[in-house]
Chain A
Amino acid sequence: MKPILNIQDVSKSFGKEQILSHIDLTLEQNTVLSLVGSSGSGKTTLLKIIAGLETQDSGTIYLHGEEVSNMKPQHRNSIYLYQEALLFPHLNVFENIAFGLRLRKTPEALLKQKVTEMVSFLGMETHATKMSHQLSGGQRQRVSFGRAMIIEPSLLLLDEPFGALDSVTREKMQVLFKDLAKQMQISAVFVTHDLKEAIVMGDSIGKITKGELTQFSDLKSFYNDKDSGIKKEVEFWKQFN
């Protein structure tokens, strides 16, 4: 199968500090790649480069086989989602979800139908007219996903989207995202600090250490990697057994 995302030899420095060094990465269609790494390892920079919000110093990026290395973010059809839901504060839930469709000048009847379906799928029927500040953290994040998914992006770039949520809401959101990704056949790169979340969410896993990426072909090889930290975590929990 042709990969949806193919990154070849991408490097990036800020001043004298090398953030990313000769990154190679591939992502198959309709799969999720979990990207783990410590703070400041370059995960966010890599995501922003893929989205077109940062420019790489060298290397090439292909989306659907087309080179997009110097393409503006507007034309990449890759949505970058922050840790914060970033719902537009001047729009209600319905209009937030409709945002991307309105940009594409979708006919009003079709727009209403699609947004209503999405609102219903997210279980937000009773909140459709509420503003962002009237929602809980989990509800805001759900709307944020709905807003992204409704325009059927080629690629979803998620930068620790559940980082600010409590553990219960976080698990619910993981299930919701998996359902949405499966139903809408989404391809995504999912950045997280949480190893368990990385395994739950990803079909494959990549790890960035000091700007260098190791991509594991499957979850088993990530588990077996001595530097992944998984075995340490398993040992930690075993002591309570």
Chain B
Amino acid sequence: MRQKRRYRNFSNLLFIAIVTLPVASGLVYALLYSLGFIGLLNKGFTTDAWETILLGKPFWSSLGFSFYIAMVTIIISLTVSLSIAISWRKNLNKGALSSLIYLPLCFPGTVMAFFSYQTLSKSGLLSRIGFQLGWIDDLRMFPSWINDAYGIGIIITSVLLITPFFIILFSNLYTSEKVEEYVQLAKTFGASKRQVLLKVTLPILLKKASVTIYLFIIFVMGSYEVPLLLGRQDPQMISVAILQKIQKYNLYDIPKGYAMSVLYVVLVIGVLFILYRKNKTFFKTEMKHS
């Protein structure tokens, strides 16, 4: 019993040392830098950086743009992955497809972004194929999907990156949550195919995957390489905007970059806290049966 407690204390300490401490230190450093306590050109306490960020447009437009990209990406990705996981269920469990589905997971974000650039840009593969087939008279007529205002290139690349994760997730959940048995039960209750999908399959899978979905929204919102390569200067996604402020030659912009990063983290933690307050089991992966 004592040994068990000692082991639990050690695990807690290890978690704090490896996970909590570095993140908390980074946040404290960023907060102190943004308030002028530390930094190359600090002149003591000032709220200038925070006032500029909170009252200016760039932070909020970057946040809004990041949220828009994340939501569109997740909605498309969920639609595609659920369709594939449900309709190709048997093929995903055996044969070549069960191995091939893991292949896109080997591509780093940067590689996938370059691949998208080569395929979707005005001088890219699709544009050239369209030109050769006579669908467009000039390569410049090809629609702007790279470095465009709507982030189409970023969305397509993010969808390509995260959809395999969701396919594997939903495919595994379908089996572990015994969805097939619920489906059969619902059928004997008289549920049509549409009713089975809308009232049984989708709610069970989406509810079970809800935490992962929320985390992926945050993951896409905070992605860096893909929007850096495929996005444009305005609007920028939040990570790109923060990094540009921190790494630019203008040293007076660094506190603003840190203020943006602290504010972004606070907002994300705030949203997670609200979700947790609404549902106390939000972060629990297992439910205890009474």
B287 at the interface (CB under 8 A from A): yes
Partner of A52, one of B178, B188, B195, B290: B188
The docked-state distance in angstroms from the alpha carbon of A99 to that of B188 is 12
Partner of A80, one of B184, B191, B200, B290: B184
B-facing mask of A128-164, CB < 8 A → 1, else 0?
A: 0000011111000000000010010000010000000
Closest chain-A Cβ to B193's Cβ sits at a distance in Å of 9
Known contacts A82-B181, A86-B178, A133-B288: A51-B188 contact under CB 8 Å:
yes
Decide if B182 touches A88 in the complex (CB within 8 Å).
yes
Closest chain-B Cβ to A45's Cβ sits at a distance in Å of 13
Closest chain-B Cβ to A65's Cβ sits at a distance in Å of 20
A77 at the interface (CB under 8 A from B): yes
Known contacts A86-B181, A133-B287: A53-B204 contact under CB 8 Å:
no
The docked-state distance in angstroms from the alpha carbon of A89 to that of B199 is 11
By a CB distance below 8 angstroms, the chain A residues around B184 are 53, 73, 80
- In chain B between 49 and 102, which residues have their CB closer than 8 angstroms to a CB of chain A? none
Starting from the known contacts A79-B188, A89-B204, 19 additional A-B residue pairs (CB-CB under 8 Å) come to: A52-B187, A52-B188, A53-B184, A53-B188, A72-B187, A73-B184, A77-B190, A82-B181, A82-B185, A84-B178, A86-B181, A86-B182, A99-B199, A100-B189, A103-B189, A103-B195, A133-B287, A148-B189, A157-B188
Decide if A136 touches B189 in the complex (CB within 8 Å).
no
The docked-state distance in angstroms from the alpha carbon of A52 to that of B182 is 15
Partner of A73, one of B182, B188, B200, B204: B188
A90 at the interface (CB under 8 A from B): yes
By a CB distance below 8 angstroms, the chain A residues around B208 are 89
A-facing mask of B170-188, CB < 8 A → 1, else 0?
A: 0000000110011011111
Decide if B190 touches A90 in the complex (CB within 8 Å).
no
24 A-B pairs with CB atoms under 8 Å apart are A51-B188, A52-B188, A53-B187, A72-B187, A73-B187, A74-B191, A79-B188, A79-B189, A80-B185, A80-B188, A82-B185, A86-B182, A86-B185, A89-B177, A90-B203, A90-B204, A99-B189, A103-B199, A133-B287, A133-B289, A136-B290, A151-B189, A151-B190, A157-B188
Chain A residue, CB-CB nearest to B195: A103
Closest chain-A Cβ to B218's Cβ sits at a distance in Å of 23
Could you list which residues of chain B lie within 8 angstroms of chain A, going by C-beta atoms?
A: 177-178, 181-182, 184-192, 195, 199-200, 203-204, 207-208, 287-290
Chain B residue, CB-CB nearest to A80: B188
A238 at the interface (CB under 8 A from B): no
Could you list which residues of chain A lie within 8 angstroms of chain B, going by C-beta atoms?
A: 51-53, 72-82, 84, 86, 88-90, 99-100, 102-104, 133-137, 148, 151, 157
Closest chain-B Cβ to A17's Cβ sits at a distance in Å of 21
Closest chain-A Cβ to B21's Cβ sits at a distance in Å of 35
Decide if B190 touches A100 in the complex (CB within 8 Å).
yes
Chain B residue, CB-CB nearest to A72: B187
By a CB distance below 8 angstroms, the chain A residues around B186 are 99, 103
Chain B residue, CB-CB nearest to A157: B188
Decide if B189 touches A134 in the complex (CB within 8 Å).
no
Closest chain-B Cβ to A82's Cβ sits at a distance in Å of 6
By a CB distance below 8 angstroms, the chain A residues around B190 are 74-75, 77, 100, 103-104, 151
The docked-state distance in angstroms from the alpha carbon of A161 to that of B109 is 50
The docked-state distance in angstroms from the alpha carbon of A87 to that of B187 is 14
The docked-state distance in angstroms from the alpha carbon of A104 to that of B186 is 12
By a CB distance below 8 angstroms, the chain A residues around B199 are 99, 102-103
Partner of A103, one of B191, B203, B289, B290: B191
Decide if B178 touches A78 in the complex (CB within 8 Å).
no
The docked-state distance in angstroms from the alpha carbon of A77 to that of B182 is 16
The residue among B186, B190, B207 with the most chain A CB atoms within 10 A of its own CB is B190
Chain B residue, CB-CB nearest to A134: B290
Chain B residue, CB-CB nearest to A76: B188
